[in-house]
Structure 1
Amino acid sequence: MSLFKAREWWSCKAGTDETYDYGCIKVGIFNEDTNSKIVVGSHSGVLRIYNPIHRDELSDKSITNYASDLLLEKSLNSSIIQVEIGKFVSTSTLDHIAILFSQKLSVFQLTEQSGVTEHGRQYELELNYEHNLNRPAFNMCKGQFGGGKSKRDDAREYICVQSVDGVLFVFEFERNSMVKSIPGCYLAGPICYLPRYQTLAISSDQGDKRDLEASGTTSSRRVLPEWSFNIGESALSIKISKTKNAYSILCLGERNLFCLNDHGQLLFMKKFEYNPSTFITYETDQNNDGIRYIIGTHSRTLFINHDSNIKWAAHVEQVPVQLEICTIQGIRGMICSLSEFGDVQCYYLGTDPVSTTMPLTSSSRIDVSDAEQGLMKLQKEIKLAMNDPSLVVKRKSNAKMTISVEMPSEKNSFSMADEIQFQDSDPVPSLTVKVQLRSSEAVQNVLLNIHCHTPICAKPNEIRFGSMGISPVQTEVTFWMKDDLTPTSLDVTLTVTFNTSDKLSENGQNNLISGRYFGTGGNVSVMASKSSQKYRFQSDSLANIWLFSQFLIERLSSTNSSIEFEYGEPLPYSDYFEIIDRHYELRIECEKINEMIDVCSKQFRAIQKRLLNKFKDKTPTLLDNLDVLLENTHHQVK
């Protein structure tokens, strides 16, 4: 938990009942406007572009955005996987929007048209070009593959799309220039472009991060990694950080953060005590070495780090799935976050506490005579309510609950079946039963549970009535078959629970408590003597008695600190030594099993090597029953 809270500068809700993930938000500048825009794409296929504006003159502080902040909202009729902003058009130096769908990549341009009214500006999304993909897309990255320079030496950016099975598609503007497959990769992972050596940093499904050459085209469709580094866990994200003339690769895992140089050598590693959700790297104007990054966690905390040290921590309102560092309205270092359900928020770090104002108290004098009359009126109402048996639970309650069921003469004319797990041309018949509850006196927290055997289903299967008087209450329960199976029983159990003022064990045996340990099944009983102040413990095991006796000693010591405990009889060493001997025998047995597993494992590896040599041999030979020996050894190891 962070001591400080990130200060919210602007926020909005991007749609309702829509989901988002990493890659669904980007911040950039379009056209001649100097203000940054926030581009958000949802899995429902809706693209939204916001122009965040902070208004200090708002009277209602709960409103942090206006409808005019939304510049564009357009449905693209396909789930949006990722959004990127860059110079993706060869004939223009302006930034464009690249949107990755499941089966295609589209590049759009945001255009602005001035109107004749005060709020007449209109924003439109024009399609520049698109590429159809023959494989389902997973993610993409941008970069100057092969240099990416035009004749005017303006930076151009190409797009690399990775499919779900690890195939890379490199697009140079309107043409597909390269298709490469990653060997040994069957599930895609995070991808990032390393500009120094024109390479890609990719995390494969085997838990190792590889740096792949992507600058030149070759005749082969497969590429080999320049280096690889095993991180031992799934990678959540990969980012590049530049310090002076060196580049560093940061890989965020499920429990660790790895920092490598561009040659694949580990610089440092940071182990987490929390669950990270996303992270982002950023740079400053200070000419000092160090890698700066922000980590978002599932506990709604942002950790600002410098190398392997935490410099600041701030609490946020939502769990971020993606973070962006941007400049909005001239304010540098703004943190823009996106949650899973579309909460877009812009934060800045600060230590100012939230200002609170004390409520104004009424300064009018209290009339004593009016207060006394009001008090007498309330006491009279309380006295009348206490004498009403239908409203008050009696101190010595003897409540009796009666359940009556009224069966209909025939089934429902219209089927009320829901959540059916099989298909049938005819409607599934249903039966509605009326259930009536009647209590002899007022009870509270009445709960009715209906239990029936599979495949019969009841709806509702749990009904809460709250408080209940002597008047009966009635409800309806519908039964039908949820699956096409033969019912094992047609019995239905109705259970009613309620609260009274009586204790649970009033009519039971109040000097005996019995318990059973979960898992081991050991029983233990504690009996208090009626004639003398003695407690007796009974169990079939000495270990079972210890826990209850320890509880008794702690509770007696809490009530009387000067109490002393003595054991007058000889200690049961025989039972204790028997447990120790059994423990020793189990330890010896475990060591023997470990030795046998070690021997079988060495034998298993030796057989594998011999089988591998036979399979590599160009001239086929007999296996000499090595396959049978391998199978038997495998069973021994299991």
Structure 2
Amino acid sequence: MSLFKTREWWRTHCGENEAFDNHSLLVTPLFGPDIHNVIIVGSHNGYLRIYKPSSKWIEEGKTLTGYKPTDLILESSLEKPIIDLNVGKFVSGSQNLHLAVLSPSNLIVYNVSMIGNAADEEDRCVLNIAYEHNLKRLGATLTVGPFGGVQGRDFLCVQCLDGTLLFYEQETFTFSYNLTNYLLPTPLIYVAKNDAFVTLNSGWVFECYRYQHIAEFDKNKEKQPSELGKSLYPDWKYNLGEAVMDVKIATLSSVELAIVVLGERSLYCLKDDCSLKYTKRFDYAALCFHVYVVEPDGVLMVMTVTETNTLMVYEGTTLRWTAQLPFAPVAVNRGNFQHLEGVIVLLSDEGSLEGCFLGTEPSLFVAPPVSCTKDFNYETAESDVAKYRKMLQKSAASDSSLTNATAESEIGISVWISPHLEPCPFDEELAVETEKHSMCRVSVELIPYAPLRQVQVSFEVHDPLIVRADYHEIANLCDRHLAQSVIHMGDKAVPASLETVVTVTYENSFGAIRVLQRKAQVPVRLVAKLCPPESGSSFSITVKSDEPIVSLSQLFPEFIGEEATLGRNNNAIGLQYLYTGTVVSIASGTSSNRYRLQSEDSLAVGPVGRQLIARLNGYYSRKQCNCVTSQVQLQILNAHIDVHFASRQEVRRIKYTGGPRSAGNAAEKYREKNGLQL
């Protein structure tokens, strides 16, 4: 909505319970340029009205006289719906302007004459029929112009509902032409410079046909019956790609003109040779538009009316002014009247007719000066800021908990990963000698407690694990829904973690976006198998617990029954990674509440250690475990961090210098020095 509003200059209402559209308004100098413009309005109920606004300022520009009954100089009932209006030199032997009125069944040309002095404020008009054409088909739009390049005369073209063009040379019917690729009536304009017609076909393609070619094509059909069924090929085409609401033509200079097209979401300005001059993409829906040229510079101006009753004035693609309109018009025009030029004329679909102009009213409100007499206490202000910051943090925390509680009451989410492995058809080359390449299924059950929209379910695992079909989307969720996928290994490496994160996002009935997460563990048997424990490994960590030792067969029940050698007294087991062969040994203490994990590969201990801690916490239903590492293990971890940092530095050097990666770079030298292999 604009901050400014149009200023009313003249306003009236056309009849009662009548209907109008964008072809019902015409602003033109019907009685010659000396009498300025008049407003011609034709309704679908068959009433023709001509207005001559005489509003002017009184009392030194403070008030306006507005509408007077004498401004209506003609009101006549034609008894047939008026669907289009136009003015031109339509009568043979006369250079006066005549009014052409199109109804669905006929085309009538009227002679409108003024009674009395043209300068009199109480003028009246007389309407006389010059001639009439009965249409062979139902008419839709009317286009006029000097077809064929004639001088001092205007011809008429009626576009019918079935796509037939009926051409009339004033009182005489000449020929007809059927448009191809035609479904509904579209805007049809005549370009006098090229003597051509421009229209839009049903494929949203702008087409141009020269009048001479249309006339010759009709004559050829009469002479050669074999030409029947063929169509005329257009002189040029331009694919707009959207429906067209209206088309206007503006003469910029003696050698340049512009074809302005109003689409549903765009404004196009074309030259007469089909080349695009510019285009403007709208972020609103346009209702109607009007173009005019500012003389003597030949600047093209475009006025568009939006669905929010806003008038937008463009110079090219630049928005020069915007103003709020009093109602939603179906037609907009611009005219020069007796006491004011450049008046914007608006017509609504119910008959509200207004002449307005762009202007602003000064605001009488003046903000009072700010009082700065009170001294500012910085210490008090600092304490107040700290207090309010704590209040905001507390409020944000409560809002977060409230949001989570609300989301939990809107949908139920259950994640289940099957402990049973299946043969994996993907990446079969990863199969090892003793084990087949396997996968496990993961299922997410969604139970909505209220209708939800745009529900999205995503799965996330850590490399080298891979999840197939990691994204599911449900447009509307009103009943139970099950989203499934499979997880398997994608490379011969040690996984960083066996955790699977399921994220569910949705939009509730109030438009609020919610995000919920659930976590689950991939079965250990997917990546490792039971094996005899090893002793004397180079890397080890210790897990302490405040509770008594739990048997390893209870912590890892999925391996019970497999042919493997457990340690003595079942207090030690080994887990061997299927794809790397690395063994991680787990031993429980005999006299202390400790578990020892050891392996030759420090990275392999992480996933098994996290599994052990998670299972201990689940067994005791509370967290009681702590992980202890030695100084040597921390040195190994720091060495890996240094190697990673050196590798990143080398990548950065190669990226910005473009040099090849040599065998003696810093990262490799560091690894050789510390005996590390990544």
TM tier, smaller:
0.5 to 0.7
Is 2:293 the partner of 1:283? yes
2:18 aligns to what SS in structure 1? coil
Q: Which moved more, 1:183-192 or 1:134-143?
A: 183-192
CA gap 1:48/1:547 in 2 versus in 1, 3 angstroms: closer
The one-letter amino acid of 1:103's match is S
Q: Paired residue for 2:248, among 223, 239, 243?
A: 239
Q: Paired residue for 2:266, among 250, 256, 265?
A: 256
Measured after TM superposition, the shift of residue 29 of structure 1 is 2.5
Which residue number in structure 1 is paired with residue 477 of structure 2? 520
Q: What does 1:118-517 align with in structure 2 at a 5 Å threshold?
A: 121-149=123-151, 155-215=152-212, 217-218=215-216, 219-220=219-220, 222-244=231-253, 245-287=255-297, 290-329=299-338, 331-353=340-362, 516-517=449-450
Q: Write out per-residue CA displacement over residues 302-326 of structure 1, whole angstroms, 9 at most, x where no aligned residue.
A: 1111111111111111222112121
* Contact 1:143–1:195 (8 Å) recurs in 2: yes
Which residue number in structure 2 is paired with residue 70 of structure 1? 72
The one-letter amino acid of 2:113's match is T
Q: TM-score with structure 1 length normalisation?
A: 0.55
1:215 aligns to what SS in structure 2? helix
Q: TM-score with structure 2 length normalisation?
A: 0.51
CA gap 1:213/1:514 in 2 versus in 1, 3 angstroms: closer
CA distance in 1, matches of 2:349, 2:194: 35
* Contact 1:194–1:200 (8 Å) recurs in 2: yes
* Contact 1:13–1:342 (8 Å) recurs in 2: yes
CA gap 1:522/1:333 in 2 versus in 1, 3 angstroms: same
* Contact 1:301–1:314 (8 Å) recurs in 2: yes
Q: Paired residue for 1:574, among 515, 520, 527?
A: 520
The one-letter amino acid of 2:156's match is I
Measured after TM superposition, the shift of residue 576 of structure 1 is 11
1:52 aligns to what SS in structure 2? coil
Measured after TM superposition, the shift of residue 146 of structure 1 is 1.1
The one-letter amino acid of 2:310's match is T
Measured after TM superposition, the shift of residue 514 of structure 1 is 8.4
2:520 aligns to what SS in structure 1? helix
Measured after TM superposition, the shift of residue 30 of structure 1 is 3.4
* Contact 1:198–1:213 (8 Å) recurs in 2: yes
Measured after TM superposition, the shift of residue 77 of structure 1 is 0.6
Q: Paired residue for 2:101, among 82, 85, 99?
A: 99
Q: CA RMSD in A?
A: 3.5
Which residue number in structure 1 is paired with residue 21 of structure 2? 21
CA gap 1:133/1:67 in 2 versus in 1, 3 angstroms: same
* Contact 1:87–1:94 (8 Å) recurs in 2: yes
Identity of aligned residues (%): 28
* Contact 2:58–2:64 (8 Å) recurs in 1: no
CA gap 1:3/1:165 in 2 versus in 1, 3 angstroms: same
Which residue number in structure 1 is paired with residue 555 of structure 2? none
Q: Which moved more, 1:61-70 or 1:277-286?
A: 61-70
Which residue number in structure 1 is paired with residue 36 of structure 2? 35
* Contact 2:29–2:35 (8 Å) recurs in 1: yes
CA gap 1:297/1:521 in 2 versus in 1, 3 angstroms: closer
Q: Write out per-residue CA displacement over residues 382-435 of structure 1, whole angstroms, 9 at most, x where no aligned residue.
A: xxxxxxxxxxxxxxxxxxxxxxxxxxxxxxxxxxxxxxxxxxxxxxxxxxxxxx
CA gap 1:232/1:30 in 2 versus in 1, 3 angstroms: closer
CA distance in 2, matches of 1:350, 1:227: 43
Task: Tell me the number of residue pairs that the alignment of Structure 1 and Structure 2 aligns.
Answer: 380
Flag structure 2 segments of 5+ consecutive residues without an equivalent.
Answer: 222-230, 366-407, 412-448, 452-475, 481-501, 524-678
The one-letter amino acid of 1:325's match is R
The one-letter amino acid of 2:519's match is Y
CA distance in 2, matches of 1:546, 1:138: 47
Measured after TM superposition, the shift of residue 215 of structure 1 is 3.4
Flag structure 1 segments of 5+ consecutive residues without an equivalent.
Answer: 150-154, 357-511, 524-540, 555-570, 578-638
CA gap 1:62/1:351 in 2 versus in 1, 3 angstroms: closer
* Contact 2:310–2:324 (8 Å) recurs in 1: yes
